[in-house]
Amino acid sequence: MAGDVEEAVRQGCADNSLRLALGQEPERPLFLLGKLGDTDVRVVRKGDDIEVRLGESVRETIRVGYGQTGVDTQTPSASSHNPEAQTNVGPHG
């Protein structure tokens, strides 16, 4: 788990270095790491998206970038069956 925290912090630093080089504001870190029983759980920022992983598989990618809406799922979830659960999580929503 310590390696996962280090990787999340390293990725955030790399993303913010690029943002600063482009004259943009840095973003606050976003990561949540834990365990459900024997399964690793990770919620991390990947560019303009938030990625939810259970074990080694990506379960959901939440789009939060400009002009993006909703939740992009690779496996069925409650939000994919309920259109009202998919909301605009971008800066103007």
Token pair recorded at residue 42: 């990770």
pLDDT at 22: 95
Token pair recorded at residue 91: 């800066």
* pLDDT level of residue 43 (50, 70, 90 thresholds): very high
pLDDT at 66: 54
The answer to whether residue 68 scores a pLDDT higher than 60 is: no
Distance, in Å, from the CA atom of 47 to the CA atom of 27, rounded to the nearest integer, reads 10
**Residue that has been written with the tokens 């913010």 in this structure:** 16
The answer to whether residue 82 scores a pLDDT higher than 90 is: no
The answer to whether residue 4 scores a pLDDT higher than 60 is: yes
Q: Say if CB 56 and CB 20 are below 8 A apart.
A: no
Q: What value does the mean pLDDT take over residues 17-28?
A: 91
Provide the whole-model pTM.
Answer: 0.56
